[in-house]
Amino acid sequence: MKKTDVAIVGASAAGLMAAVTLRKRNPEKSVTVIRHVVKTPVPCGIPYIYGTLKRVEKNIIPDENFIKMGVDIKYMEVNAVDRENKSISFVDGTSLSYDKLILSSGSKPFVPPLPGVDQENVFVIEKDPLKLQKLHTALESAKNVVVVGGGFIGVEMAEQIALMAGKEAMKESRITVSLIEMLPHCLMMACEEEFCIQAENELTKLGVTVKTNSGVKEIAGQGKVTSVRLADGTELETDLVLVSIGAVPNIDLANQCGLSADPRKGILVDEYMQTQDPDILAAGDCASKTSFITGKTSGIRLASVACSEGMIAASNLYDETKRRNLGALGAFATKVGSQSIAAAGLTSKAAADEGIEVVIGEATTPNRHPASLPDCITEMKAKLLFQKDNGKIVGGHILGGESSADMVNAIAVAIQTGATAEELATMQYATHPLLTASPLFYHIMLAAENGAIQLRKAAKQKKLSREAA
Ligand SMILES: Cc1cc2nc3c(=O)[nH]c(=O)nc-3n(C[C@H](O)[C@H](O)[C@H](O)COP(=O)(O)OP(=O)(O)OC[C@H]3O[C@@H](n4cnc5c(N)ncnc54)[C@H](O)[C@@H]3O)c2cc1C
């Protein structure tokens, strides 16, 4: 039987990050990363295969850099883990013994129990180049596409399918793309309502029909889909349905080897990414999560979270000083048409649902200075949520130019370090005429100052009421 010091099941965000971390920190340890797909697609790049890159092969994480670092990458399905003998076995009958095991087996698309969902031409997004190619081939001849689910994957897919069809075909309705979302708006789980509406407007401009507040009741057809029936009775003729309503943790191996796992939460891990087996850790979409803000179970499954967890798991294997996972924050960015939308932490709805009272500081200013500069977005908007009782930032939302993602990353750091409105208002930021807003009108600073003023007013009011009582 072959041997490795560390076996990692899964060669995507969490697994590859774990492998690289180990090779850097413990170069004396051998690392074998296993995947059951021929190549690893860039998971977040998948939508862009269809309208922008045009080919699945252009969206692959190259193995070379990892191999150069001494990571052994194996293409084979693991069908069992033998915890007692510390070995894993593969579908071809071979096995590999390990000293430590990291499970980073990711997630699978959630397939709802809808009538007709198992028909030909009903697709889900699987992170497998062969299946992504199959979807590409089917989309090439599809005339009426229905995307079910208006989360970020559904929105990005609808946009890219419209681009793949081409402006003329969409304009002349030779090809139609419909996006069906059950909630009042697309992207609502992560973004503020007004930003969601902007994203929907961008999709509409591209010719996508956006139907919100709409549930799918049935996918009709005789083995091959012909229409989608909505709960309100509407029937949409279609020859391709793409279901993208979320992902569930892949806990197959954990179940097989008796590790505690929950079909919704994932493989149960502690804050060190440790399972109940001292030699097995889990990271990424397959592992259980808590929210950074509320400490409650979280369903946030993102590549950024997976990478962070992969790094924590790998560094905790042999180091005395353990790294702690403080929880999933949910920092997210997307681009729809000409709008970039980014969010970190709570939305105002999520804050209200959690009973967290917030004040909201907003700023809408140009993203260049002077605003007469070419390509200036005159109405780039920042919306920051501060907890009313302590002034700490718990959410941030940016709409506008491509710098939205990096600005929200700064906000994500601020949330994770517990920065307050007062601190964010008086911090120093890099500004440049061609790259950012003016230092007089820098979005985060201004929105934080607006928040700080409200917080002071609220504190003063509270004091007065106390004195009066
Ligand atoms: C279309 C799309 C767009 C996305 N966009 C974004 C984005 O913009 N930003 C963002 O942060 N996140 C995004 N995500 C989410 C992100 O892709 C996931 O959070 C991330 O891929 C999780 O990484 P992971 O390593 O935990 O698991 P996965 O990427 O699911 O990888 C799992 C790995 O495990 C392997 N595996 C599983 N079982 C076995 C087995 N039995 N034997 C061998 N190998 C096995 C697989 O082969 C694979 O290598 C997107 C997801 C999708 C589908």
CA of 44 to the centre of ligand 1 (A): 9
Whole-number percent of the chain with pLDDT over 90: 98
Q: Which residue's alpha carbon is nearest to atom 24 within ligand 1? A: 106
Q: Minimal CA–CA distance to 144: which of 216, 241, 77?
A: 241
Q: Which residues pair with 358 in a beta bridge?
A: 387
Q: State yes or no: pLDDT of 469 exceeds 90.
A: no
Pocket test for ligand 1, best of 8, 9, 12, 20 (most atoms within 8 A of CB): 12
Q: Residues 196-201: what's their mean pLDDT?
A: 97
**pLDDT score at 401:** 85
Q: Residues 365-393: what's their mean pLDDT?
A: 96
Q: Residues 332-347: what's their mean pLDDT?
A: 96
CA of 303 to the centre of ligand 1 (A): 7
Determine if the pTM surpasses 0.75.
yes
The Cα-based distances of 153 to 28, 161, 164, 195, 468 in angstroms read 40, 12, 16, 16, 53
Pocket test for ligand 1, best of 250, 257, 269, 311 (most atoms within 8 A of CB): 250
Q: How far apart are CA 251 and CA 438, in angstroms?
A: 49
Confidence grade of residue 17 (pLDDT, cut at 50, 70, 90):
very high
Q: Residues 79-89: what's their mean pLDDT?
A: 98
Q: Which residue's alpha carbon is nearest to atom 19 within ligand 1? A: 302
3: left (phi over 0), alpha (psi -120 to 50) or beta: beta
Q: Which domains does the chain have, with CATH numbers?
A: 2-36+76-106+248-318 (3.50.50.60), 111-245 (3.50.50.60), 343-468 (3.30.390.30)
Q: Residues 126-132: what's their mean pLDDT?
A: 98
CA of 458 to the centre of ligand 1 (A): 44
CA of 368 to the centre of ligand 1 (A): 36
Phi first, then psi: give them for residue 17, nearest 5 degrees. -65, -40
Mention every residue, 6+ apart, whose C-beta is less than 8 A from residue 331: 302, 304, 342, 343, 344, 345, 408, 409, 412
Mention every residue, 6+ apart, whose C-beta is less than 8 A from residue 325: 271, 272, 273, 308, 309, 312
Q: Which residue's alpha carbon is nearest to atom 30 within ligand 1? A: 106
pLDDT in tens, 239-256: 999 999 999 999 999 999
Q: Which atom in ligand 1 lies closest to the alpha carbon of residue 76?
A: 43
Q: State yes or no: pLDDT of 22 exceeds 90.
A: yes
Q: State yes or no: pLDDT of 284 exceeds 90.
A: yes
Q: Minimal CA–CA distance to 206: which of 162, 269, 176?
A: 162
Q: State yes or no: pLDDT of 296 exceeds 90.
A: yes
String of DSSP letters for 39-64: S-B-GGGHHHIIIII-SGGGGB--SH
CA of 410 to the centre of ligand 1 (A): 25
pLDDT in tens, 92-116: 999 999 999 999 999 999 999 999 9
Angle at 104 between CA 100 and CA 108, to 5 degrees: 150
CA of 305 to the centre of ligand 1 (A): 11
Pocket around ligand 1 at a 6 A CB cut-off: 9-15, 34-37, 40, 43-44, 46-47, 77-78, 104-107, 125, 127, 153, 250, 253, 284-285, 301-304, 306
Q: State yes or no: pLDDT of 402 exceeds 90.
A: no
